[in-house]
Amino acid sequence: MGMSAPLSDAPGVTAAVCTRDRPELLRRALASLSALDPPASELLVVDNAPSDDRTFELVRDAFPDVRYVREATPGLDFARNRAIAESRFPIVAFLDDDAVADPGWCGAFRTVFAARSEVAACTGRVEPLVLDTEAQRLFEANGGFSRGLQPIRLPGDMVRPLHGRRAPPIAWAVSIGCGCSLALRKTAVRAVGGFDNALDLGAVLPGGGDLDILWRLLDAGHHLEYQPAAVAWHEHRRDMEGVERQLVGHQRALVAFLGKSLRHARPGTRRDIAAFLAWRLAKPVVRLGKRLLGRDPLPARLLVRMAWNCWIGVAAYGAARSEAARRAAGGAA
């Protein structure tokens, strides 16, 4: 089914931004969400363990129609789960605080959920906001966040090749989009237990929560969609060290998520997940070989860092779970 369902039949959407100590970026994101056409049903900011009151004061003074919630426990997935709990509407659409939403962003998500009741998650197309620096151009040359101009619908599209080869379902879940622009049906998210607080813990484990929730929804029998009509623009990090740290961290978090998924896999999926994990461990080394032939955009030293961090990721999830439990206990106290 296409994007033809009337918005009068569409479920309400909470547009949510999880943020920490970045009020100027948040100002830009909220300005874009305030200009949505059609508008979101509500706008929500979850301020994650802030070090000061700047975010609260920004929302109070410049965006009085935006709901503000403070989540004391540090960690992006603690904040995402708080957004799910606080939302007053059936769909929660997450936008990163360093991104800008197209005016039609929310309407595109609402149409997807109205058209297909089986869809539990929909990712949007994320394009670069600017490509001013070498670091931003390198991030985009590595693949960026966009997944192209054609919709992807899972599980239906899994019969065709992915990147030219047959791929297991978990590879499709990894490839369909990211949490920068992600809309979720609350009932489905709650049914699978919400976001995993052990992922997206900053330096401890910098990512993986979006991939994990997409995979668990797909594995539970729900449908996913990538909808390119839901457009947002992301400001990639401007400095080279920041981009390299992000790419390295994403590799570590991806392998940690895959290791977790393998440990919890159903018997029918275990072999495919193990094979995909093995490929992701080998991929930076394969890319390093291509780089030596001049056929990969990333510098060799970065690919070496990525390869090493993949192996660090194998054992990272257990430590991250302990850290998440410690943080949760501190927040409860």
Average pLDDT over residues 311-331: 94
Handedness of CA 131, 135, 141, 143 (dihedral sign): negative
Segment 271-286 shows an average pLDDT of 97
**pLDDT for 129 beyond 70:** yes
Predicted local distance difference test score (pLDDT) of residue 1: 38
- Span 208-229, pLDDT tens digits: 999 999 999 999 999 999 999 9
22: Cβ contacts below 8 Å, ≥ 6 apart: 55, 97, 98
Predicted confidence at residue 10, as pLDDT, reads: 81
- Tens of pLDDT along 102-116? 999 999 999 999 999
pLDDT tens for 154-211 read: 999 999 999 889 999 999 999 999 999 999 999 999 999 999 999 999 999 999 999 9
Q: What span, in angstroms and rounded, lies between the C-alpha atoms of 51 and 173?
A: 35
Mean pLDDT of 272-296: 97
pLDDT at 9: 73
pLDDT at 330: 87
CA–CA distance, 177 with 210 (Å, rounded to integer): 9
- pLDDT for residue 5 is more than 70: no
Average pLDDT, the chain: 95
- What is the domain partition of the chain in residue ranges? 7-238, 248-332
**For residue 125, pLDDT beyond 60:** yes
pLDDT at 92: 98
Helices (H) and strands (E) in the chain, counts: 12, 9
Determine the Cα–Cα distance for residues 85 and 73; give it in Å rounded to an integer: 15
* Res. 48: pLDDT tops 50: yes
**pLDDT tens by residue, 66-99:** 999 999 999 999 999 999 999 999 999 999 999 9
Domain covering 7-238 assigned CATH 3.90.550.10 in the classification: yes
The phi, psi pair for 100, rounded to 5°, reads: -130, 130
Contact status, residue 303 vs residue 288, Cβ threshold 8 Å: yes
d(CA 309, CA 79): 26
- The helix (run of H) or strand (run of E) holding residue 16 is strand 13-19
Query: Is the model's pLDDT at 3 over the cut of 70?
Result: no
Q: What was the pLDDT predicted at 194?
A: 98
Cα distance between residue 22 and residue 30, in whole Å: 12
